[in-house]
Structure 1
Amino acid sequence: MRTPGVVHHGTLRRRAAYRRALRTAGELLVTVGAVLLLLVVHQLWWTNRQAREGAERRVEALEREWRRPAPDVTAAPDPGEDRPQGAGAGAGTARADPGGRTGTARRSPGEQPRRSPGERPRGSDAYAVLTVPRLSLRVPVAEGIGKRDVLDRGYAGHYPRTAQPGRPGNFALAGHRNTHGEPFRHLDRLKRGDTVEVETRTAAYVYAVDRTLPQTAARDVGVVRPVPRSAVHPSYGYSEPGYYLTLTTCTPEYTSKYRLVVWGRLRSVRPR
Structure 2
Amino acid sequence: MARARNRIAGVISVFGELLITAGLVLGLFVAYSLWWTNVLADRAAGRDGNQVRDNWAAQGPGALDTKDGIGFLHVPAMGDDEILVKKGTDSETLNNGVAGYYTAPIKSALPQDKQGNFTLAAHRDGHGAKFHNIHKLKSGDPIVFESKDTWFVYKVYKTLPETTKYNVDVLQPVPKESGKKQPGRYITLTTCTPMYTSDYRYIVWGELSRTEKVDANRTPPAELR
Distance 1:268 1:67 in 2: 24
Superposition pairs of residues 55-70 of structure 1, within 5 angstroms: 55-70=45-60
**Aligned equivalent of 1:130, options 47, 69, 73:** 73
Q: State the partner residue of 2:219.
A: none
Deviation at 1:13, TM superposition (A): 4.5
* TM-score using structure 1 length: 0.71
Distance 1:237 1:258 in 2: 21
Superposition pairs of residues 62-211 of structure 1, within 5 angstroms: 62-70=52-60, 97-99=63-65, 112=67, 125-135=68-78, 136-147=80-91, 149-160=92-103, 161-167=107-113, 168-211=115-158
Distance 1:186 1:198 in 2: 17
SS of structure 2 residue aligned to 1:150: helix
Distance 1:60 1:182 in 2: 19
Q: State the partner residue of 1:14.
A: 4
Distance 1:133 1:12 in 2: 68
Tell me the amino acid that sits aligned with residue 120 of structure 2: L
Where is the helix percentage greater, Structure 1 or Structure 2?
2
Deviation at 1:190, TM superposition (A): 1.2
8 Å contact 1:170–1:243 — kept in the other structure? yes
What is the percent sequence identity of the aligned residues? 39
For the pair 1:219 / 2:166, whether they are aligned, the reply is yes
For the pair 1:263 / 2:202, whether they are aligned, the reply is no
Encode CA deviations 1:12-69: one digit per residue, 9 max, x unaligned: 5434433322221111111101101101111111112221232223222211221124
Q: RMSD value over aligned CA atoms?
A: 1.9
8 Å contact 1:166–1:266 — kept in the other structure? no
SS of structure 1 residue aligned to 2:125: coil
Q: Please, which runs of 5 or more residues in structure 1 have no aligned partner?
A: 1-10, 76-96, 101-111, 113-124, 231-235
8 Å contact 1:169–1:243 — kept in the other structure? yes
Distance 1:133 1:53 in 2: 21
Encode CA deviations 1:185-211: one digit per residue, 9 max, x unaligned: 111111222221112223222211121
**Aligned equivalent of 1:248, options 185, 190, 193:** 190
SS of structure 1 residue aligned to 2:70: strand
* TM-score using structure 2 length: 0.85
